[in-house]
Amino acid sequence: MHILIFGASGHVGTGLARHLSASHRITGVVRSQPVARAPYAPVLVPDWVDRPRSVIDELTRTDAQRVDAVIAAVGGWYVDEAMIDRGIASFDKDYSSYLRSHFAACAVTQALADSGTRTEAGARADAGASAEADRSAESEASAEADRSAESEASAEAGRSEQIRHLTLNGVASVEACVGSGAISVFGAAQEMLLRVAAAESRSVLFRELKVMAPIGGDDRNDLSGGVETIGMSAVADAAGEVLSRPGDFELTTQLKV
């Protein structure tokens, strides 16, 4: 697969790129050029959140291979004072880093699907769906049975070829994390963002991977008291499985220690 990663410069994005590049082509959307050699091909779009369309333009300009899947690992992590004490400016900033960025990443994936960068088989599946709509005027019961079998097959084929969008989320989205409150608020909303996008889109398969423990190697995590971590390779394996076989996974999957 050709996987496009948002948040490629971050701990999770870079780690996923490093692991997944063994078997996939990885392009990372970045706001500034990486200073060191990166495990992804960087595509520099400083204002991709405000102008999601510019990502498509840049991919087109650089003649990039068709994108099969998108990973959104944007956001980050902090533990600080209480959410309300941090004030509205801090809340706005976190909205930008979390929910707003995830919205923009979803918008890019939808635009990729709409602009025909998806596979031909995906387009054939859509053609099958519209042919089905035409046929719905027919009234015989036997035709109805044929139609539903055909539609089932077409939906299956479409599922295997639609662009996939995987968003990374964490335990803060299901627990009120003291000192990381806005991350909890926007993490919880992130799942609903995906649910709405999934309900409204015929051409993108939206999935979420909730990593329910700190990911190994992130120095920002407080591991005192024997907190267990999840290794980056386990996260990458899980992400790879969801992207390869999205039909086997619900909209959201929890990865536990």
For ligand NAP, the closer CB: 157 or 188: 188
Q: Which long-range contacts (CB under 8 A, 24 or more apart) does 118-121 make?
A: 118/66, 118/161, 118/162, 118/163, 118/203, 119/66, 119/68, 119/161, 121/157, 121/158, 121/160, 121/161
For ligand NAP, the closer CB: 101 or 110: 101
Q: How far is the CB of 75 from ligand NAP (least distance, A)?
A: 3
Q: How far is the CB of 120 from ligand NAP (least distance, A)?
A: 32
Distance CA 2, CA 29 (A): 13
For ligand NAP, the closer CB: 72 or 125: 72
Closest CA to 132 of 111, 107, 158: 158
For ligand NAP, the closer CB: 71 or 125: 71
Residue at token pair 């960087």: 42
For ligand NAP, the closer CB: 131 or 213: 213
HSE at residue 190, side-chain half, CA atoms within 13 A, is 36
Supply the Cα-derived Rg of the chain in whole angstroms: 20
Distance CA 158, CA 153 (A): 9
Q: How far is the CB of 200 from ligand NAP (least distance, A)?
A: 22
Closest residue to ligand NAP in the complex (CB): 10
Q: Which residues contribute to the site for ligand NAP (CB under 6 A)?
A: 7, 9-13, 31, 49, 73-77, 96-97, 101, 168-170, 211, 214-215, 218, 221
Q: How far is the CB of 199 from ligand NAP (least distance, A)?
A: 22
For ligand NAP, the closer CB: 50 or 152: 50
Q: How far is the CB of 49 from ligand NAP (least distance, A)?
A: 5
Q: How far is the CB of 169 from ligand NAP (least distance, A)?
A: 5
What letter does residue 247 receive in the DSSP assignment? Answer: G
- Interacting residues of 180 by C-beta distance below 8 A, sequence separation 6+: 77, 78, 79, 80, 172
Strands 41-44 and 25-30 turn out to be parallel
**Dihedral of alpha carbons 89, 92, 96, 97, sign:** positive
